[in-house]
Chains A and B, each alone.
Chain A
């Protein structure tokens, strides 16, 4: 087991890094909404109001994709968090935290 475990840490690190890089690249490659309404109000003639709008349908769809991607990631994260919460609750109620003596009663549903 010892040799296998020594592979574990670096493998985990590589996995985390890869996940970070892949998601970073995926996020960067998303058509993140470019500065829309590129009509600066610095024209001396007639100062206009600057309304941020999406100039092309591509930009607008890019915004939808980005926001959709964010919510999808949030969904995945919430799922993983849920697993972790259930595990943490289980460990706590079973009395396995430090400084705990023995288990608690099963929780009244919060």
Chain B
């Protein structure tokens, strides 16, 4: 064992890695628990890649066979239904953790200088994760996913000038067809993974470069906090967290496996009770609230504009919150709380 380690180290310089890991310090304080969210996201991303590749071994991204191939995975391939279930639930866990991670950074204001770029790459990663969810949802090609995709790709039409063009780009034409499946599949399986690796690489580099941020009060009081080395002390604790999360994922996946509806019919009316995945529900409900015309402007356009503005504000939050310790900072924290409460309320409302 030691010989193998020495061989690798002589050629790859692994000693530098473990030294870096040991020198990297993780401060211990009341909010240390949130430090676990980032690596947990990585765990689920890894699971998604593995289960995704396995599903892609049998999936057929054509209009004729998409639903049938998923059906085959669930009935003929040994344990196919578990792999599909894990893939589906891991998506939920991953996006849930991304949102928790975002909220924890927002509430501890860890985006303060010099970590603004880390925040922005993080928001980009949120977008990529949501895009993964959106593109993946269509692939089983059942009534629900067809309807959700039709609605989702119709929203950009409200944008003036480029709207129709954007929708056409997403759909591969004016309508959702077999071309849409091909498009969504290659985006889900190739384009988005490349994007997430690129942005994640930058994000992780920035995190290592700037180190772990401290809570606002600790920094202001210039406390020296006890810290542990990342390797092996913090990493071992993370391993424990990962095990529990893995157990939770497997339990949910086995007992709450998703079903598959019959293949979508492009000509039949939308089924009742269509809804997107849970992470889009608040947007879905917000859209429903907007009247069709507001002051003579198309209601949907206003809704899209509001959502775009909201997203932009989230993106530049570190620059808005430039005085985090003062009253302005507390107001912004209040706004973040209010937004969070709003999304929860909208999500719950959409389910009633």
A and B touch in the complex (CB under 8 A): yes
Q: Report if B28 contacts A (CB, 8 A).
A: yes
Kindly list chain A residues whose C-beta atoms are within 8 Å of the C-beta of B257: 52
A50–B77 touching, CB < 8 Å: no
User: Residue B23 contacts which of A33, A47, A99, A110 (CB distance < 8 angstroms)?
Assistant: A99
Taken together as a complex, chains A and B put the C-alpha atoms of A9 and B2 apart, in Å, by: 10
Taken together as a complex, chains A and B put the C-alpha atoms of A67 and B247 apart, in Å, by: 8
Interface SS of chain A: loop
What are 29 of the A-B contact pairs (CB < 8 Å)? A9-B1, A33-B79, A34-B79, A35-B74, A35-B76, A35-B77, A35-B78, A35-B79, A37-B75, A39-B75, A41-B67, A41-B260, A42-B72, A48-B262, A49-B260, A52-B74, A52-B258, A63-B254, A66-B254, A71-B247, A77-B240, A81-B237, A85-B233, A85-B240, A92-B233, A98-B19, A99-B22, A107-B228, A110-B32
A67–B254 touching, CB < 8 Å: yes
User: Residue B22 contacts which of A32, A98, A110 (CB distance < 8 angstroms)?
Assistant: A98
Q: Report if A17 contacts B (CB, 8 A).
A: no
What total of A-B pairs shows CB separation below 8 Å? 112
Taken together as a complex, chains A and B put the C-alpha atoms of A104 and B228 apart, in Å, by: 11
Known: A35-B74, A88-B232. A81 touches B239 (CB 8 A): yes
A77–B71 touching, CB < 8 Å: no
Known: A66-B254, A84-B236. A74 touches B244 (CB 8 A): yes
Which candidate, B80-88, B98-106, B214-222, is the interface stretch facing chain A?
A: B80-88
Mask, B1-16, CB within 8 Å of A = 1, is 1000000000000000
A49–B75 touching, CB < 8 Å: no
Known: A49-B262, A88-B233. A63 touches B255 (CB 8 A): yes
B240–A81 touching, CB < 8 Å: yes
Taken together as a complex, chains A and B put the C-alpha atoms of A33 and B236 apart, in Å, by: 31
User: How many chain A residues have a CB neighbour from B under 8 Å?
Assistant: 41
Q: Which partner residue on chain A sits nearest B78 by CB separation?
A: A35
Q: Report if A27 contacts B (CB, 8 A).
A: no
B233–A47 touching, CB < 8 Å: no
Kindly list chain B residues whose C-beta atoms are within 8 Å of the C-beta of A98: 19, 22
The 7 A-B residue pairs with the shortest CB-CB distance in the complex, in nearest-first order? A47-B262, A110-B28, A52-B257, A51-B259, A50-B260, A52-B81, A40-B75
Q: Which partner residue on chain B sits nearest A66 by CB separation?
A: B254
User: Residue B243 contacts which of A36, A40, A78, A97 (CB distance < 8 angstroms)?
Assistant: A78
Question: 8 Å CB contacts to A: which residues of B20-56?
Answer: 22-23, 28-29, 32
Taken together as a complex, chains A and B put the C-alpha atoms of A41 and B28 apart, in Å, by: 54
User: Residue B74 contacts which of A50, A66, A81, A84 (CB distance < 8 angstroms)?
Assistant: A50
How far does the Cβ of B47 sit from chain A's closest Cβ, in whole Å? 14
User: Residue A99 contacts which of B19, B76, B232 (CB distance < 8 angstroms)?
Assistant: B19
Mask, B119-163, CB within 8 Å of A = 1, is 000000000000000000000000000000000000000000000
Kindly list chain B residues whose C-beta atoms are within 8 Å of the C-beta of A81: 236-237, 239-240, 243
Q: Report if A38 contacts B (CB, 8 A).
A: yes
How far does the Cβ of A27 sit from chain B's closest Cβ, in whole Å? 12
Kindly list chain B residues whose C-beta atoms are within 8 Å of the C-beta of A2: none
